[in-house]
Chains A and B, each alone.
Chain A
Amino acid sequence: MVAVAAVGALFVLLPLAAMATRVDWANFLALVTSESSVAALLLSLRTSVAATALCVVLGVPMALVLARTTFWGQRLVRTLVLLPLVLPPVIGGIALLAAFGRQGLLGHTLELLGIRIAFSTTAVVLAQTFVALPFLVLSLEGALRVAGTRYEAVAATLGARPTTVLRRITLPLVLPALLSGAVLSFARALGEFGATLTFAGSLQGVTRTLPLEIYLQRETDPNAAVALSLVLLVVSVAVVALTLRTVPGPAGAP
């Protein structure tokens, strides 16, 4: 079993290590600090932070409703909410177009309100939120179920109104899960490609995020693509490592 586990680990690590060997170290700095690379990295970080914030704002109430209430069709709703997790991102992009595109369901209404989503950074954030939201909802809902309602019941009998219970008991209890869910969402948003390409387009500094830039660079300058891939890899590893450091294990563990 250990041997198979080792093969599995190798399977994941080998391609990444192999990619590192392909990096043109002599020109690495020049490749990753080119104007287009820096613009893509900054755009990716900016949009991913925004998408993560949106995930928290939308995902926390969703997780609470799913974990703390029962309603007809709940299982179906949960399945649908988690759908972007298994859906090919391109389909997500097509779906977003159908909803928010100019010819989409809400496109006309948004146009009347003066809101243009297509080809804007907003579209990138929407695409990223669409694919990242399930990560937050999933991890938070699980944590809420594990935490149970006993502390909340005690808090209520101590005279805390529901909003106070939520603010002072429920959310602090699931804070580790909220943080790790947010980090997962951030990482997913950072790596988003398919939905962005389909829904948002690709323009330097506006909609061309790092994964799109890497794909474009590959066309003419594979060295730059590899160098940027390494940058994205390092950012991802840093994010994951940071989470493991700052987020303690399950509630109760030191």
Chain B
Amino acid sequence: MTLAFSASLAARGFDVTLDVARGETVAILGPNGAGKSTALEIIAGLLRPDSGHAEWDGTALFRLDGGPRGAWLPPHRRGVSLLAQDALLFPHLSALDNVAFGPRSAGVGTDAARATARTWLAEVEASDLAAVRPGRLSGGQAQRVAIARALAADPNLLLLDEPLAALDAAVAPTIRRMLRRVLEGRTAIVVTHEVLDALTLADRVVVMNRGVVVETGQTREVLERPRHPFTAELAGLNLVLGTRTAGGMAADWGELVAPAASIVRGAAVAAAIRPSAIEVSLEPLPGRDNSVPVTVIDLEPRGDSIRVRADSLSADVSPGRAAALDLAPGDRVFFGFDGEDVSLYGSERPSTLR
């Protein structure tokens, strides 16, 4: 492990242990207030934890364990660049000089630093913006320049705090692709609440909630086979926990028919079901493998579909279908889906994936 991090900060209920390997991009997923940004601030040296330690390749970034070998490396000596949600370009410097700031701070002469900066502006396709002041840049342009600035500092570790959150939906995909390109082979931590960011950018995800890590593993594995209700919520999946039976699994609200899987009976299992695979009906659905009676709790419009949240599961229906059903909270309806719509897996994450 290149970065070995462990810290706690009581004031924010923060207690996290985290490892990042060289060349790996790790996404920290979680809702607002989960402590994602706190993690980055502590790693960058902008925030001091109560206790803990962090090492980069055997060099202590900080060691606050109360022992005699305590250490605290100031931010500028950590080799850690931070890219925030807002580009935070220095308003008094041109785009070029913003990018040249890192090299200049490292002691490189003005001309050489600007040459480096030009290379990085080209890398993020922003060469034409070199002379422009940040006040005249659009959000997307500013973020490109900010990415170039972070990379030009030649950091060991790049921290990205919701790098796409402040951007227009039209611009975000372009910047996301660019980030995937520049993060290739780099060691980075991306904080996000977007599953798409994690899937696009990260080799591994760490899911956080309320200051602690709830789940961690390979991005696809974690997001397609969540073990924690919270991860399932983020991934937009129904998660059912129970035990393996002959025909599927036993959940606390009944038997679920699921495809055969090589999991021994009685084992703790989890099932993931996409909400869009679930059919909603006022009558039982005998034609489907599973027909679950549920009570509607909430209806939530989501673009071109409506999510019907019920006590045990959620389903996505088209607006037309929702209107035909005339659903309201409190209604008793049936959710129908087939066994092949259910992804069944052990609810204990294999330790090798940690």
Contacts and interface: CB of A to CB of B under 8 A. Distances in A.
**Per the CB under 8 Å rule, do A and B touch in the complex?**
yes
Given A154-B82, A154-B84, A155-B90, A160 B101 contact: yes
B91 A251 contact: yes
A176 to B, nearest CB: 10
A173 B92 contact: yes
A252 interface: yes
Interface string A126-164: 000000000000000000000000110111111111101
A30 B104 CA distance: 58
Nearest to A157: B82
Given A169-B90, A173-B92, A254-B135, A155 B46 contact: no
B242 interface: no
B102 interface: yes
B54 to A, nearest CB: 15
A72 B74 CA distance: 24
Contact of B91 (A159, A164, A173): A173
Contacts of A155: 90, 101, 105
A127 to B, nearest CB: 35
B90 A153 contact: no
A218 interface: no
Contacts of A150: 84, 86, 88
A118 B86 CA distance: 55
B76 A157 contact: yes
B40 to A, nearest CB: 10
Contact of B76 (A160, A168, A175): A160
Interface in B64-117: 74-82, 84, 86, 88, 90-92, 101-102, 104-106
Nearest to A156: B75
A88 interface: no
Contacts of B90: 151, 154-155, 169, 172-173
A172 B102 contact: no
B88 A151 contact: yes
Interface residues of B, number: 28
Interface residues of A, number: 22
B150 interface: yes
B88 A158 contact: no
Contacts of A154: 82, 84, 88, 90
A172 B92 CA distance: 7
Interface in B28-54: 44-46
Contacts of A157: 44-46, 75-76, 78, 80-82, 153, 159
Contacts of A158: 76, 81, 101-102, 105, 149-150, 153
A164 B45 CA distance: 17
A138 B34 CA distance: 38
11 contacts: A150-B88, A151-B90, A155-B90, A156-B45, A158-B150, A159-B77, A159-B105, A160-B105, A162-B76, A165-B76, A173-B91
Interface of B: 44-46, 74-82, 84, 86, 88, 90-92, 101-102, 104-106, 135, 149-150, 153, 159
Sort A-B residue pairs by CB-CB distance and give the 8 closest, nearest first.
A156-B75, A160-B105, A157-B82, A158-B102, A159-B105, A172-B92, A158-B153, A156-B76
